[in-house]
Amino acid sequence: ITCPFHSSFPMAASLARVSSVPSTRSLPHVLYTEGHRQIQKSLSQLIEKEINPHVDEWERQSIFPAHTVFRKLGSLGVFGANKPTEYGGLGLDFSYSCAISETMGSIHCGAIPMAVSVQSDMSTPVLSLFGSESLKREFLLPSISGDLVSCIAVSEPEAGSDVAAIKTSARLNNGGDWVLNGQKMWITNGGQADWACVLANTNDSGNIHRNKSLFCVRLDSPGIHRSTSSIRKLGMHSSDTAEIFFDEVIVPAANLIGEEGRGFVYQMMQFQDERLVTVAVSLEPLQRCIDLTLDYTRERKCFGKPILDNQAVQFRLSELQAELESLRALLYRAVAERVLGSDVTLLASMAKLKCGRLSREITDCCLQYFGGYGFTWDCPITRMHRDLRLFSIGAGTDEMMLSIVSRHLMHK
């Protein structure tokens, strides 16, 4: 009987040809060009030189110097990849924002990438699209350069996933300006931010989706009070998370972003980009989590052999790697559709759902393989486990993502 893989068998020649084909690493990227790679390379160099050496200290201090770090990142165009060039942006498409966010994931904590994404993809997109010329000059331009730090003030103590339920209000006074009252909660960058993109109720129409507006609000305005210390969190320690209180705060009429009553719709638009960059940020730490576990289990012996020699461990890590690659593929498809101008609500929601679940699955499994060391505070897997747990909550909970996906399915 001739072995089907014998050299005389025709398939052998085919296999030989396959083995000579370049690896996928040398093939064109499905989304990124050489331009993307150059930006990623410059950013990676800055991260390794200026950020990662300080991460452990900033995590211990429960804060990082946002203004200092943001100016350095601003010099590379991190905050304005897809923003207009006339305001300091790079004028590129959203795929570059994705590439930047993916590279930001190489920072050795989740807090700083999260803080950066707030400024690049949460507080400024609607301002860039619908803000007046004067607002863009005052707030967008210095935010893109990193000279100003911003935050997005939407969530409240009783309104997180249910954005329409916010209570913060803005009413016109006799002088034609807005008077802002209310409280915002869980505000990333809230302690250090110079200004906030604030969502507030601005009319009594009764339509909870048409009675809200977005404003640019300077956080040194009279009547604004912030919590004196950052909210203590399970993870994301070096990101300051604040409560912000507005008490009869005068907001100039000119600080309204776009049309009055369109704030809810604008915010829903911002959410899609927020979810996509959240997924992009997750890819590097999840890959690092798997890689660190492979390295550790190769060296760590149990019952006289490396832990990785156990087929059960090999299979489980292989499953996780396959799941991570499927998440990457889903993200790239969603970003490609976004660049083409398609509505990516469904794809972004599915990717965000998978990201949240996979973040928990990978970090929990890898921590388990680290054994007792995985339960210590200084193990790198432990920080990932704590930080990435937020990805099932922030930017839309898993349950909200399921709600959005199921709503699309029911209307097919």
The three-state secondary structure class of 76 is coil
pLDDT in tens, 264-285: 999 999 899 999 999 999 999 9
- Residue 27's pLDDT band (boundaries 50, 70, 90)? low
Report pLDDT for 147: 99
Query: Does residue 48 have a pLDDT over 60?
Result: yes
Report pLDDT for 25: 47
pLDDT in tens, 143-154: 999 999 999 999
Query: Does residue 14 have a pLDDT over 50?
Result: no
Report pLDDT for 26: 52
Report pLDDT for 378: 87
pLDDT in tens, 336-361: 999 999 999 999 999 999 999 999 99
Average pLDDT taken over every residue of the chain: 93
Contact criterion met (CB below 8 Å) for 150 and 139? yes
pLDDT in tens, 358-369: 999 999 999 999
CA 113, CA 96: separation in Å to the nearest integer?
15
Q: Mean of the pLDDT values across residues 83-96? A: 98
Report pLDDT for 28: 74
Report pLDDT for 354: 99
Q: Mean of the pLDDT values across residues 204-222? A: 96
pLDDT in tens, 284-319: 999 999 999 999 999 999 999 999 999 999 999 999
Torsion angle defined by CA atoms of residues 221, 58, 363 and 117, in that order, rounded to the nearest 10 degrees: 40
Q: Mean of the pLDDT values across residues 396-402? A: 97
Residues in CB range of 348: below 8 A, 6 or more apart: 272, 275, 276, 334, 338
Query: Does residue 5 have a pLDDT over 70?
Result: no
Quick one: tokens of 60?
Answer: 């211990």
pLDDT in tens, 107-121: 999 999 999 999 999
Domains contained in the chain, CATH given: 34-145 (1.10.540.10), 150-259 (2.40.110.10), 265-410 (1.20.140.10)
The proportion of the chain whose per-residue pLDDT surpasses 70, expressed as a percent, equals: 93
Contact criterion met (CB below 8 Å) for 97 and 120? yes
pLDDT in tens, 226-235: 997 888 999 9
Report pLDDT for 205: 86
Report pLDDT for 230: 81
Report pLDDT for 20: 39
Tally the C-alpha atoms within 13 A of residue 302's C-alpha that lie toward its C-beta. 12
- Taking the model in full, what pTM does it have? 0.91
Mean pLDDT is lowest, of 2-6, 94-98, 218-222, 407-411, for 2-6
Tell me which residues are annotated as active site. Answer: 274
Report pLDDT for 6: 41
Q: What does the DSSP 8-state code read for residue 85?
A: G
pLDDT in tens, 317-338: 999 999 999 999 999 999 999 9
CA 90, CA 190: separation in Å to the nearest integer?
26
CA 364, CA 311: separation in Å to the nearest integer?
19
